[in-house]
Amino acid sequence: MVSHPESSNHPHNELTALIRTQQLTFQAAGTDAPILDALSLRIQAGERVGIIGPSGSGKTTLALHLTGLHHVALLGHTSGHLWLNGRDSTTSGCEGFAGVVLQNPEIQLFGETVEEEVSLSLQQRTGDFDREHELDRCLNLLGLGELRGQRVATLSLGWKQRLSVASMLALAPKVLLLDEPTSYLDEATADMLFDVLAAQAEHTGLTVLLIEHDLPRLLPWASRLLALQQGRIVFDGPPAAYSSPSPRFIEPAGAIATPLSPTGAERLLSVEGVSFAYNGQGAVLENVSLSAAPGEIVALVGPNGSGKSTLLNLIKGLLEPDDGKIICASPSLRMDAVGLVFQNPDSQLFAHSVFEECSFLPRNQNFPPHEITSRTRHALTQVGLQSHAERVPFSLSYGEKRRLTLASTLSGRSTILCLDEPTVGLDRECLAQVAGILRQVSAQGGAVLLATHDHAFVEAVATRVVSLRAGHIVDDAAPHGGAV
């Protein structure tokens, strides 16, 4: 990805303000504190606005207001003033003004094929335009021209996200909001997406609002940065003037976690010549061999569809390999010896208290009652949630929920901890906490495997980086490139 020039529009020209807010305040139903607290700002056409801030700071709430979708997407009361495209939209919103690309592309796609998906947007678009030309333009812009006849269900997440952007561009909105669009994307696809957005802003005057935690990618791209903290704007200006408050992670991996036995007989996990294919489809993994020793933090990296998550599912035992074998040194069953933490906490929380939620695994692993209690308490202390033991899990913040899912895996008897995209949606404070927990697990003699696209996180915590491409291991090295 390249650094992009400043927007040609003057940022404080009131006459050209596409979006204007004055003392904009939003209070969610049933809460006392406002989520947005008297925000005033102006945004011109063609600006590339990066919105940053910790979880719960009001980024998404602000963005939904700025796109005129607050009246359909939020439950609460908006006060102050909001003008979108010169129209007072404080209470009524402004439908058709903006396009939105969410983190998860799965729910945004409605068509059967790639071409039909973009065509559906073109059918909803008003005004005179050459439909065929626009269809080709939108598809080619995102590199989807070759896939126009392909079924949407068969696309990888990266391609689905490209398609959701193409569908939004086909609507020809004045503003495009993207809420953490790169969470599921590999580096190359994320860079390509940022380049496309910058080009659209430059050539068509599209205003882009982008919520993103990945500052190294966001800062060179944005023409303006908005930083939020507890519903207030704490920084509004050019990204070059923004100084990051603290380093992203506390200390590099080598300082604490050193593999205790990288090549010796004390391997906790051995994956030997494993191949796997989903029913009736091509091989996802072919002849993959990998081992993990106590104390190692192994990062699995690679583009979308390279087989990282499938490998974790195979190691956990959710899938069985077509060929090869997976051996755990632990005397317990592989399902018990390997803990797998999934990305979305809402897909697993169900209990009435944090303690109950965290004790679900040890109870199912038939530990005696006193040990269930001690293991649960220890796991909650490890992730810093011991004071929240009696709270309802659904009332926790997103970062706390993610730590709870980690605790509810740590409370079991697993010696190998696997994490699928552990950094998605986490702000820097949460990332630092997760990094600390992983180092702690590794220091206690466990092995950690994590599948991620976040290279900064990998460099900070991993002791080894395994690169996968098209189902093969293409590299196995230390985080900075040194051979293992």
Partner 1 sequence: MTRAWWTKLHLLTRLALFLIVCLHAALGREFLPQLLLFCGLFLLLFACGAAGPHARLLLWAHLVGLPATVLLFLAIGYETARSWSEALSWGLVEALRYALRLECLFLANLVFIGITSPQEIISLFSRRWIPPAVGTLLSTAVRFLPLSLTETRRIYDIQRCRGLRLRPWAPRTCLPIIVPLFVSQMCRAHDTSVMLVVRRMDMGTRCASPRKFGLVDSLVLGLGLATCMPMLF
- Interacting residues with partner 1 (CB under 8 A): 69, 72-73, 95-96, 98-100, 102, 104, 106-108, 110, 112, 116, 120-121, 123-125, 167-168, 171, 313, 316, 318, 335-336, 339-340, 342, 344, 346-350, 360-361, 363-365, 394, 408-409, 412
Nearer to partner 1, 96 or 247 (CB): 96
- 101, 168 Cβ separation under 8 angstroms: yes
Q: How far is the CB of 171 from partner 1 (least distance, A)?
A: 7
Q: Which is nearer to partner 1, 171 or 300 (CB)?
A: 171
Shortest Cβ distance from residue 197 to partner 1 (Å)? 17
- Residue whose CB is less far from partner 1, 13 or 364: 364
Q: Closer CB to partner 1, residue 349 or residue 438?
A: 349
State the minimum distance, in angstroms, from the CB of residue 170 to partner 1.
10
Complex with partner 1: residue 20 or 70, whichever CB lies closer = 70
Least CB distance to partner 1 at residue 156 (A): 15
Closest CB to partner 1 among 95 and 371? Answer: 95
- Provide the minimum distance between the beta carbon of 184 and partner 1 in the complex, in angstroms, as a whole number: 15
Beta carbon nearer to partner 1, 102 or 484: 102
Strands across the sheet with 36-44, in order?
A: 36-44, 17-28, 76-84, 87-88
Nearest distance from C-beta of residue 163 to partner 1, angstroms: 13
Q: What is the 3-state secondary structure (H, E, C) of the chain?
A: CCCCCCCCCCCCCHHHEEEEEEEEEEEECCCCCCCEEEEEEEEECCCEEEEECCCCCCHHHHHHHHCCCHHHHCCEEEEEEEEECCEECCCCCCCCCEEEECCCHHHHCCCCEHHHHHHHHHHHCCCCCCHHHHHHHHHHHCCCHHHCCCEHHHCCHHHHHHHHHHHHHHCCCCEEEEECCCCCCCHHHHHHHHHHHHHHHHHHCCEEEEECCCHHHHHHHCCEEEEEECCEEEEEECHHHCCCCCCCCCCCHHHCCCCCCCCCCCCCEEEEEEEEECCCCCEEEEEEEEEECCCCEEEEECCCCCCHHHHHHHHHCCCCCCEEEEEECCCCCHHHHEEEECCCHHHCCCCCCHHHHHCHHHHHCCCCHHHHHHHHHHHHHHCCCHHHCCCCHHHCCHHHHHHHHHHHHHCCCCCEEEEECCCCCCCHHHHHHHHHHHHHHHHCCCEEEEECCCHHHHHHHCCEEEEEECCEEEEEECCCCCEC
Q: How far apart are the first and last CA of the chain?
A: 29
- Give me the least distance between CB of 350 and partner 1, in Å please: 4
Give the separation between CA 482 and CA 259, rounded to whole angstroms.
14
CB of 164 to partner 1, least distance (A): 9
* Nearer of residues 104 and 330 to partner 1, judged by Cβ: 104
9 versus 409: smaller Cβ distance to partner 1: 409
- CB of residue 248 to partner 1, shortest distance in Å: 28
Q: Which is nearer to partner 1, 99 or 307 (CB)?
A: 99
Residue 112 C-beta: closest distance to partner 1, Å = 4
C-beta of 94 vs 147, nearer to partner 1? 94
Query: 53 CB contacts (<8 Å, ≥6 apart)?
Result: 59, 227, 228, 229, 234, 427
Q: Cα-atom radius of gyration of the chain, to the nearest Å?
A: 24
User: Measured from the CB of residue 10, what is the shortest distance to partner 1 in angstroms?
Assistant: 29
